[in-house]
Amino acid sequence: MIIEAEQLSKTYRVADKQPGMAGTLRHFVRRRHRDVPAVSGVSFAIAPGEMVGFLGPNGAGKTTTLKMLTGLIHPTAGTVRVAGHDPKRRQAAFLHQITLVMGQKQQLIWDLPPLDSFRVNAAVYGLTPPEARRRISELADMLELGEELTRPVRKLSLGQRMKAELLAALLHRPAVLFLDEPTLGLDVNAQARVRDFLADYNRCTGATVLLTSHYMGDITALCERVLLIHQGRLFYDGRLEGLSERLAPYRLVRLELTVPQPAAAFTGHGEVESLQGNQVCLRVPAAQLTGSVAQLLERFAVVDLEVSDPPIEQIIGGLFERGRVDDSPA
């Protein structure tokens, strides 16, 4: 395994201050702190070449976990190995093998063209100028970057900046990519281009990718496997396909009827998700699917019928909106 996390935990110590003047004075005289667990006992392993989605609502512990995996912050407890190294030691051999791309945070020099930042990165990683030029050219082709490379970074659009940011982060050809919201703020086209690039990069180099994103499109397009984290605990680690079975044990049954029916007519066949004229969508428990479909076909004049899994966005979105997890941690 190229990434191994065992009972990884991180607790932050934060100041605890009550509002108002009295609270301010009390805080000044006697400062109180409390420990806030950001990540609690998270364990997982990722094989070389895998692309894994890391999902969770804001504050779930995704970024904290990524920071521990890259060695930026030290875990409070647990162990982590990435590419055979202990990340917190930040040894040169480890740093040569990883990269972390954080959505809006950039390493590019703001007032200079991206090429200047690439030159610095190439020198830092010990690439010879011809080698650096070749890699920049290859990656620029994949990312569809051209004359943008000689324009000051501040003059680039968000999408162009993100692509240049990716190029800078990948110049040393890392074996492990940690991507924290790489498509944040990008328009739909730019998101698609970044996704295509990441898929190509993974295919060409065999790099391992751990990706967090708020856009389910990123995850469904790139990752077969997902890790779900909530309130610092990992509660799902498995295939994206299996997620709906575990978290949403129901199917959507869409019917087109010859004659429109009231919602009450479907009582006992499932929960009505939507009803518009002669189109109805029912949420049917997976265990009763066969029986329910047979009854529906028998009872109503059906023009068309379609059974599908609920969209993954709907499952995860609903889960995070509820703000709680009924299932036990994975």
Partner 1 sequence: MTAPREPRARPVWPLVRVLLSTQYAYMLEYRAEIALWALSGVLPLIMLGVWTGSGAGEAAGFTPAMLTRYFLAAFVVRQFTVVWVIHVFEEDNLQGRLSPFLLQPLHPFWRYLAAHVAEQVTRVPFVAALLALLFLLQPSLLWWPHPADVFWGVLATVAAFILRFLLQGVIAMACFWSERALALERLLLIPYLFLSGLVAPLETFPPGVRAFALATPFPYTVAFPARVLMGAEVNLGAGFLGLALWSGLFLILFLLLWRVGIRRYSAMGA
- Tell me how far apart the alpha carbons of residues 314 and 323 are, in angstroms, rounded to a whole number: 14
95 or 325: CB nearest partner 1: 95
The contact mask relative to partner 1 for 237-276 (x = CB under 8 A, - = no) is ----------------------------------------
With binding defined as CB under 8 A, does residue 102 bind partner 1? yes
Only one residue has tokens 């409070």, namely 76
- Tell me how far apart the alpha carbons of residues 17 and 25 are, in angstroms, rounded to a whole number: 10
- Tell me how far apart the alpha carbons of residues 328 and 330 are, in angstroms, rounded to a whole number: 6
Give the torsion through C-alpha atoms of 116, 119, 120, 124, to 10 deg. 170
The token pair at 87 is 């990340």
With binding defined as CB under 8 A, does residue 305 bind partner 1? no
- Tell me how far apart the alpha carbons of residues 12 and 28 are, in angstroms, rounded to a whole number: 21
102 or 248: CB nearest partner 1: 102
Of 143-202, which residues contact partner 1 (CB under 8 A)?
175
Count residues contacting partner 1 (CB under 8 A)? 46
State in angstroms the smallest separation of the CB of 92 from partner 1: 4
172 or 251: CB nearest partner 1: 172
Pairing state of beta strands 98-102 and 176-180? parallel
CB 174 within 8 A of CB 93: no
- Which residue in 229, 258, 256, 233 sits closest to 316, CA to CA? 229
The token pair at 46 is 């990722």
State in angstroms the smallest separation of the CB of 99 from partner 1: 7
Secondary structure percentages of the chain, helix, strand, coil, to 5: 40, 30, 30
State in angstroms the smallest separation of the CB of 183 from partner 1: 17
Angle between helices 129-143 and 158-170 (to 10 degrees): 140
124 or 303: CB nearest partner 1: 124
The token pair at 316 is 């995860």
68 or 252: CB nearest partner 1: 68
Cβ atoms < 10 Å from Cβ of 88: 15
Backbone Cα Rg of the chain: 25
Burial bucket for residue 264 (CB in 10 Å: 0-12, 13-18, 19+)? exposed
95 or 190: CB nearest partner 1: 95
State in angstroms the smallest separation of the CB of 324 from partner 1: 27
24 or 290: CB nearest partner 1: 24
State in angstroms the smallest separation of the CB of 121 from partner 1: 7
With binding defined as CB under 8 A, does residue 119 bind partner 1? yes
Of 36, 124, 204, 286, the one binding partner 1 by CB under 8 A:
124
With binding defined as CB under 8 A, does residue 211 bind partner 1? no
Of 17, 26, 27, 96, the one binding partner 1 by CB under 8 A:
96
Of 70-89, which residues contact partner 1 (CB under 8 A)?
70-74, 81, 83-85, 88
Of 11-70, which residues contact partner 1 (CB under 8 A)?
12, 48, 63, 67, 70
Q: Which residues bind partner 1 (CB under 8 A)?
A: 1-2, 12, 48, 63, 67, 70-74, 81, 83-85, 88, 90-100, 102, 105-107, 109, 111-112, 116-117, 119-126, 129, 175
